[in-house]
Amino acid sequence: MWLKNATYQLFSFSNRLRVAICCSILIGGSLFSTAVLAAPAIIPRAPEIAATSYILIDAKTGHIIIEENADEALPPASLTKIMTAYIAVEEIISGNLSLSDQVHISEKAWRMEGSKMFVGVNTQVSVEDLLRGIIIQSGNDASVAIAEHIAGSEEAFSDMMNQYGELLGMSSSFFMNSSGLDTELYYNTMSARDLSLLAQATIERHMDYYPIYAEREFTYNDIRQSNRNSLLFRDRNVDGMKTGWTDAAGYCLVASAERDGMRLISVVMGTVSEESRAIETQKLLTYGFRYFETHKLYDSNQILTNVPVWSGAQSAVDLGIQEEVYVTIPRGQAESMQATVDVDEVIRAPLNDGQIMGVVSVTLDNDTVFSGNVIAMQEVEQGGIFKRLIDWLTLLFSNLFAG
């Protein structure tokens, strides 16, 4: 950890105590200040992306690296099916559905136009096959079949989609069908930002099922179809997610890739061709991997510093952070970060284990990359009457003679 060999300076101001944790590393037995040694980050201008809307985020942190018109509600075409698959997997996780369940194929599902899995009317198809038909083959028939099986009708399933969208914070999305197929009267709407949130939730919550997005082909009914995400065939770092196209939407692509411990999610909407959506996505991913990194800032329950405690059974308490923290920073700049812990100047017992004591802020080039609560890492009981008296007198005389 970059704070392992930290040095500390104390500053008193406005009844607060600021602990400056200066980033240092041990090299060849000598202590060097990396804030001095590290060169400033030089990041070129982001690439021009030929799309109506796009966004690139760090999947681990949610940090937005690049975006343009990311909140514009647009027709998503078959990108809709990411939500359809998401709900199906949520139903599996909750125990309402299983991969082996057999789904009846209605005439409505069978008659769906556009991309198909080619299921037969009044046949039974497993949930597992339908998931692959939705994700790999982009089957409109498979989407309607799973929607009807889960909710009773596609209309009721659309209500579920909107409820899930609200839970995920997808504020620019509205669903009217499970496939994304446009009609003369309506089409679904989603924004690039909403799609990145949905992709991030899919990767985080559905890791056991996410590998389906990386499968290059699927055969059903003796009909073999290749995954429409061409980046799976040309970039070994890409392992999902989904393509889309209609006249209204243009060519769209949500992609995710992992390299050197960093996972990126990109969304492009409204490009002019299949090749264009792949090229523009590749630009985003290349830029993100080349100039940024996901850095682990803190371990869970990591101690950051130790501060005095007055009137306590012990004279000091460790302060730390409860959950592990990752940040997205310019590549090679981890050692330039500086952290300060801001707590009350006078801390009195008793203290509870886990009690919020202040805030830690981490900056890079005067920009805050993280700010979060610091907590007491152990309980501190109140000291005996003699200890409390001595501490009270010490504080009293300190205030009398201060300044």
Active site residue 138: yes
Query: Which candidate in 53, 78, 158, 191 is catalytic?
Result: 78
Question: Is-contact 128 99, C-beta < 8 A?
Answer: yes
The DSSP result for 255-309, as a single string, is EEEEETTEEEEEEEEEESSHHHHHHHHHHHHHHHHHHEEEEEEE-TTEEEEEEE-
Active site residue 115: no
Residue 50 confidence (pLDDT): 98
Question: In tens digits, what is the pLDDT along the chain, a chain of 403 residues?
Answer: 343 333 333 333 334 555 554 433 222 222 233 344 456 667 889 999 999 999 999 999 999 999 999 999 999 999 999 999 999 999 999 999 999 999 999 999 999 999 999 999 999 999 999 999 999 999 999 999 999 999 999 999 999 999 999 999 999 999 999 999 998 778 899 999 999 999 999 999 999 999 999 999 999 999 999 999 999 999 999 999 999 999 999 999 999 999 999 999 999 999 999 999 999 999 999 999 999 999 999 999 999 999 999 888 999 999 999 999 999 999 999 999 999 999 988 899 899 999 999 999 999 988 999 999 999 999 999 878 877 777 677 777 776 555 5
Q: Is 241 exposed, middle or buried (0-12, 13-18, 19+ CB in 10 A)?
A: buried
Distance CA 298, CA 117 (A): 46
Catalogue all structural domains in the chain, each as residue range(s) with its CATH number.
Answer: 7-38+300-401 (2.60.410.10), 53-271 (3.40.710.10)
Distance CA 44, CA 288 (A): 11
Find the helix or strand (DSSP H, E) in which 58 lies. Answer: strand 53-58
Active site residue 81: yes
Residue 400 confidence (pLDDT): 59
Show Cβ contacts of residue 128 under 8 Å, excluding neighbours closer than 6 positions.
99, 100
Query: Which candidate in 106, 138, 256, 266 is catalytic?
Result: 138
- Helices H / strands E in the chain, number of each: 10, 20
* Residue 78 Cα to chain centre, angstroms: 22
Query: Which candidate in 24, 53, 60, 81 is catalytic?
Result: 81
- Number of residues that this document lists for the chain: 403
